[in-house]
Structure 1
Amino acid sequence: MTQAPAATIDVLVVDDNPIMRSALRGILAADDRIRVVGEAANGREALALAKRLRPAVTLLDHRMPIADGLSVVGELGQHSAVLALTSSDDPQTIGDMLQGGARGYLVHGEFEPGDLLRAVHEVVGGRGWLSPIAASVAVSMTRAQTPRRVNPAYNSLTERELQVVNLLCQGLSNAAIAQELWLTEKTVKNHLNHIFAKLGVRSRTEAVVRWTAEQP
């Protein structure tokens, strides 16, 4: 029996820098399940295109002329899942974008091309994807808003898994965790898969937020 092909994910790229838009197109072209359906150079153009094209995901820059990302993220979120993609690592900006409705936040220089592709698939699936600095901000927001409770999975994690999850919460990448603990990246990935299963989460972002928010 022939398996039905996966649905195509339509993406709108919003950035005032044409070179950056071209680079993002090149990265997204590596995944045949992703299709760029439009480009915009500012928030006003983005809203007009999003209303007409209804993209599954919008890659949204923060600093743009006429209308910046923050001014349109809420309305854009009514037509598309928004993934903020910007050079700004300012905690206030990150917090405002996430509270405004962005499902993910990637900081230029803190992700690989494969991370962007995975982020697109995660946000279209209703999940989130954050660069390490953005994850730290999300954790702080959750701490301020959520009453503390002890995660019942705490005692089920091994000593090594506790080390891995705590380094993850500090914003370290798999490679950095591996270097810190003298492990291979494959071993770190295996530990993370076990941690995700025990915490009942599906992504690094969910793991960081849940683990940090629920510690005594």
Structure 2
Amino acid sequence: MTVTVLVVDDNPVVREALRGFLDTGGATRVVGEAGNGQAALALALRHRPHVTLLDHRMPIAHGLSIVTELARLTAVLALTSDASPEVIGAMLRGGARGYLVHGQFDPPELLRAVLAVAGGQGWLSPVAASVATSALRSQGDAERGRAAFGLTDRERDVLDLLSAGRSNAAIAERLGLTEKTVKNHLYNIFAKLGVSSRTEAVVRWAGPFDS
């Protein structure tokens, strides 16, 4: 199945570059472009793309103002230059399945992120995961909140590495585990946190962001 993509960014040069990365006749196909949030919603209704790449800073309606409505129509992958914890947290709470920061990924990672999000998974670039983790650690009651989840020490180790953007293979290598054991830990972590994806687990572990 070819994954259809809507590109939403107010910069036409960025839109052209993203189309060049994704509209190559392979696993993904760009079905539309929008330069503002209002146009994005209209195109999402018309095309029902599998994934929408969503910028934050745009005229008429910015990304945060439409992410919740847009997420009801399509899987949203935030793709913006803003790496502030407030925006990252708000986008993810609003329904975005992933978050990429301009200048912090290459075309192969973009493709992997789009395919992962299309498949119902989450995707946080390392810089976004790092910001989320830093936001947590700046809160005075963070450890009390974490303790309430009842994770074991090993599950906390796995989740910390997941929050840093590590793959299952990288987590297994770092902790001296098999990938199957890492997957089992993630299954238990998801159950304890009450989530169903890697992105949701990172956000839940990071706790509330300032808005």
- The TM-score normalised by the length of structure 1 is 0.71
Q: For residue 133 of structure 1, report the CA deviation from its aligned partner.
A: 3.7
Query: Runs in 1 of length 4+ with deviation above 3 angstroms?
Result: 136-141, 143-147, 164-169, 185-194, 201-213
1:88 correspondence with 2:75 = no
Partner of 1:20: 14
1:136-151 map, 5 Å: 136=130, 138=132, 140=136, 148-151=148-151
Pair 1:31–1:148, CA change in 2 (3 A)? farther
Does the CA-based 8 Å contact 1:104-1:128 persist in structure 2?
yes
Partner of 2:27: 33
- The TM-score normalised by the length of structure 2 is 0.72
Where 1:16 maps in the other structure, the secondary structure is coil
Provide the alpha-carbon RMSD of the alignment: 3.6
Q: 1:150 is matched by which residue type in structure 2? A: G
Please, which runs of 5 or more residues in structure 2 have no aligned partner? 191-195
1:135 correspondence with 2:122 = no
Matched residues, percent identical? 55
Partner of 1:182: none
Higher CA-based Rg: 1
Output one character per residue of 1:101-159: Cα deviation in whole Å (capped at 9) or x when no partner. 11111111222222211111221222211123432455539x6977623325x45x8xx
Q: 1:49 is matched by which residue type in structure 2? A: L
Please, which runs of 5 or more residues in structure 1 have no aligned partner? 1-6, 179-184
Pair 1:44–1:146, CA change in 2 (3 A)? farther
Q: 1:24 is matched by which residue type in structure 2? A: L
Where 1:19 maps in the other structure, the secondary structure is helix
1:8-87 map, 5 Å: 8-29=2-23, 32-87=26-81
Higher relative contact order (CA 8 A, sep 6+): 2
Partner of 1:113: 107
Aligned equivalents of 2:100, 2:127: Cα separation in 1:
9
Q: For residue 96 of structure 1, report the CA deviation from its aligned partner.
A: 1.2
Pair 1:186–1:97, CA change in 2 (3 A)? closer
Aligned equivalents of 1:192, 1:210: Cα separation in 2:
25
